[in-house]
Structure 1
Amino acid sequence: MFYKDKYIFNILFEAIPEGVLIIDKNQTIVAANHPAEKMFGYKKGELTNNHFNCLIPKQMRDSHISFFENFKNSNTTKRINQELNLIALSKCNKKFPIEIGLNPFTYENKKYVIALIIDISLRRQNEKRDHFLKLELEKKITQKTADLHNTITQLKELNQNFKKEIKKRITAENNLKIALKKEKELNNLKSKFLTMVSHEFKTPLSGILTSSMLLNKYHLTKEQNKRDKHIKTITNKAQYLDTILNDFLSIEQLEANNINYKFTNFNLSTVINEVIYNANMLLKEGQHIQFPSNIDEFKITQDEKYLKLALTNVLNNAIKYSPENSNIQLLISQTNSNFEFKIIDHGIGIPEQDKKFIFNRYFRAENALNVPGTGIGLNIVKDHIENLGGTINFISNVNKGSTFILTIPNKTEHENHTIN
């Protein structure tokens, strides 16, 4: 049934580097690519028509049955939490850890699940190694610190006249601790960055590959809605990757102090219309953006590129963290010296304990961890806005929404008024 366009199917199916299985409602494997067969130790075609339980250790099969039935009817994509320590079983009864992403779909009125499987044995080994090295480093730091304390104590006991020298040694010790702490924080930051980049790129890329594969299955005119759904998925995920790449580029430029802000005089409507147009492509079902329409006469002297970047980032966040069938407002007010932009949503809000960290690089609020994101957008926006002489603030309540307020200096002269 999946082989009507066998040549195209095989190219797409086998091009995915991870193991891919397609399972029907009875948990029978109806298709498996070569990486999946190789991962589980099966020859070409051996996995097909086998029950999915053959890949699960016996003691885990009962719980898997109920989980599969619930998931099959959910119609939602799910990546299983790595902390669950999922274990798979090869043909030769070898157990190994895996990470799995599941996506239900319907084909010819029959329900199926496509499973993207990764063997993480090497990752687990590396985690154990890194943990061991971390313990060894902490042990060495503790020992070195103890040695320094012993040396200082001995010097004090030998001669009180060496107080100045001892003070210098104490200062050196503190500097060493600070340096070690900063080095440790830097290593943790690099590790977190690499993990985040790997996850944030792999997930949308897998979604693009899956949607591309399924897109070619719909040829009938009545299946246009299904084609549109997968085309929208590909477009959104491609835009998401483009945003991430632009954010990384901004970080590099900010850290290198290599940004040349170009101040020009332009129509405010030029920026607003482009920001709204791009944001509309990301809207969820029933979402709507309300924004001022009478701004054609207003001009602003600023850096057009980075004003657009800041408004886009905050508005996209409002869309991402708001539910379906909700309104998002963009309000603009002007004084002789400033433009003020308010972006108001009715989304998940920011927990009180997380508010002071919200502009920190790579920080994600605890109620946003299940939503894709890098934690760098607001950090970049804050840096650019402040470099342009402005400010960014927010008001937020959990489950009620957030209001982000961007104030940008304006060199054009107009009377005080608000743009509705």
Structure 2
Amino acid sequence: MLKFFLENTEDVMVILNEEMEAVFLSETFEKVLEIPVLPNLGRKFNEVVINFPSLPLMKPNQKMVIPISTKVTKRSLMFEFQFRHVSLSEVPGKLIFCVGKDVTEREQVLKKFKDIAFKEKELSQMKSRFVSMASHEFKTPIATIVSSVMIMQMLLDKEFSEEIKTKLLGHIDKVLNQSNRLTSIMSDVLLLEKSIQQDINLNVKKVFIGKFVNQLVAEINDENLGRRTVKLFLPETDKTINTDESMLIHVLRNLIQNALNYSPNSLDPEVQVSFIGNYVEIMVKDYGIGIPREEHDNIFGSFYRAKNVGNIKGTGLGLNIVQELTKKLNGEIWFKSKEGIGSEFYVSFPTK
């Protein structure tokens, strides 16, 4: 009956000595885990099962879940082992009896639930931050638009002197600026939604990255009308990358614009392109307000803004969108920053 049980159960049976060496391995051990029994008797169990910890068991009836990749069928399994200390009169010293069960399906379901719970928590936090941001950011431009339109209506009832024309033009500029600000906020929200979609379509083509960055920096410097100049450092030779130009423009433009916005009255920002192995690394550096150390972990979050931004306008969406688009382009993004000294943001993309 014992032989029948050991040969037909789906559970794996193991007996270890105090040195964590395999004294007994059931036939199921070889059949399920595809690890041969005889060559592994007497070996340390962490040498037999690769992901098993090398430390001895410390707790009675200890349980642990260990990932196992079978050698022949290349299956990825999650096995739960439960250990119990036992003594046998025929065998000196204490033994450890172990039962292993395949819990792959359970662990997969559990992971899905954890992922869903994390996404729901993240979505809830994002919604609350969006409500807070929207109520604050939308209030000022809407109030400005309404008041400017009312003043224009009042001025239209009077004679059109040069002074009135100047005032009208000033209020029209305010209406246009605040309308553009609202449009920019909504564009960021829509772009964020698009960037997190799994099946987004990319228009990938070969791009000479040095030439591409040079043109973009020149455009930004022209737009600033000489107020500030972004310095550019390029390698002597150029290389191509496969990328979506519109997405890459948004990534780099956002980082460069941030460098300009968050370094008022400081040295001009810098952009440096470097080729490292099979990757191109683009650094955007500023000498501005920097990011407080305690906020580094949150800086890529949706609608998140550091506490030291003051009156600098923004939605808190820019870096989150940049991160999502960088992932879509098979790139990586990271940064270094010290409060009051400045920030360096890096994006890296494969050149092959």
TM-score bin, normalised by smaller chain: 0.5 to 0.7
Contact 2:196 2:324 in 1 (8 A): no
Structure 1 residues 209 and 342: alpha-carbon distance in aligned structure 2, compared to 1, 3 A threshold: farther
User: What pairs with 1:304-383 in structure 2 (closer than 5 Å)?
Assistant: 304-324=245-265, 326-335=267-276, 337-368=278-309, 370-383=311-324
Q: In 1, Cα distance between the equivalents of 2:269 and 2:335?
A: 15
Q: In 1, Cα distance between the equivalents of 2:195 and 2:283?
A: 25
Structure 1 residues 295 and 301: alpha-carbon distance in aligned structure 2, compared to 1, 3 A threshold: farther
Structure 1 residues 214 and 349: alpha-carbon distance in aligned structure 2, compared to 1, 3 A threshold: farther
Residue 229 of structure 2, aligned match among 288, 312, 316:
288
Larger radius of gyration: 2
Residue 392 in 1 paired to residue 333 in 2? Answer: yes
Cα distance, 1:205 vs structure 2: 4.1
The worse-fitting range, judged by mean Cα deviation, of 271-280 and 360-369 is 271-280
Unaligned runs of 5+ in 1: 1-174, 412-420
Q: Calculate percent identity across the aligned residue pairs.
A: 33
Q: Which structure has greater helix proportion?
A: 1
Match of 1:416 in 2: none
Residue 277 of structure 1, aligned match among 195, 198, 219:
219
Q: In 2, Cα distance between the equivalents of 1:409 and 1:308?
A: 17
Match of 1:248 in 2: 189
Residue 198 of structure 2, aligned match among 231, 242, 257:
257
- What code does the residue aligned with 1:314 have? L
- Provide Cα deviations, 1:162-183, integer angstroms capped at 9, x if missing partner: xxxxxxxxxxxxx999999986
Residue 192 in 1 paired to residue 133 in 2? Answer: no
Residue 203 of structure 1, aligned match among 140, 153, 173:
140
- Provide Cα deviations, 1:276-312, integer angstroms capped at 9, x if missing partner: 52465468x9433212488896543211111111011
User: What pairs with 1:73-222 in structure 2 (closer than 5 Å)?
Assistant: 186-207=123-144, 220=162
Q: Which structure has greater strand proportion?
A: 2
- What code does the residue aligned with 1:337 have? N
Structure 1 residues 331 and 210: alpha-carbon distance in aligned structure 2, compared to 1, 3 A threshold: farther
Q: In 1, Cα distance between the equivalents of 2:345 and 2:114?
A: 39
- What's the Cα RMSD here? 4.2
What secondary structure does 1:197 align onto? helix
Structure 1 residues 330 and 243: alpha-carbon distance in aligned structure 2, compared to 1, 3 A threshold: farther
Structure 1 residues 211 and 179: alpha-carbon distance in aligned structure 2, compared to 1, 3 A threshold: same
- Provide Cα deviations, 1:228-249, integer angstroms capped at 9, x if missing partner: 9777766654554443233212
Cα distance, 1:373 vs structure 2: 1.9
Using structure 1 for the length normalisation, give the TM-score. 0.46
For these two proteins, the number of residue pairs brought into alignment is 235
Cα distance, 1:349 vs structure 2: 0.5
- Provide Cα deviations, 1:115-142, integer angstroms capped at 9, x if missing partner: xxxxxxxxxxxxxxxxxxxxxxxxxxxx
- What code does the residue aligned with 1:315 have? I
Q: In 2, Cα distance between the equivalents of 1:209 and 1:272?
A: 41
Contact 1:279 1:315 in 2 (8 A): no
Q: In 1, Cα distance between the equivalents of 2:234 and 2:181?
A: 28
Structure 1 residues 238 and 402: alpha-carbon distance in aligned structure 2, compared to 1, 3 A threshold: farther
Contact 1:264 1:303 in 2 (8 A): yes
What secondary structure does 1:367 align onto? coil
Unaligned runs of 5+ in 2: 1-111
Contact 1:288 1:325 in 2 (8 A): no
Q: In 2, Cα distance between the equivalents of 1:394 and 1:358?
A: 10
Cα distance, 1:336 vs structure 2: 5.4
Q: In 2, Cα distance between the equivalents of 1:296 and 1:176?
A: 49
Q: In 2, Cα distance between the equivalents of 1:407 and 1:182?
A: 27
The worse-fitting range, judged by mean Cα deviation, of 183-192 and 376-385 is 183-192
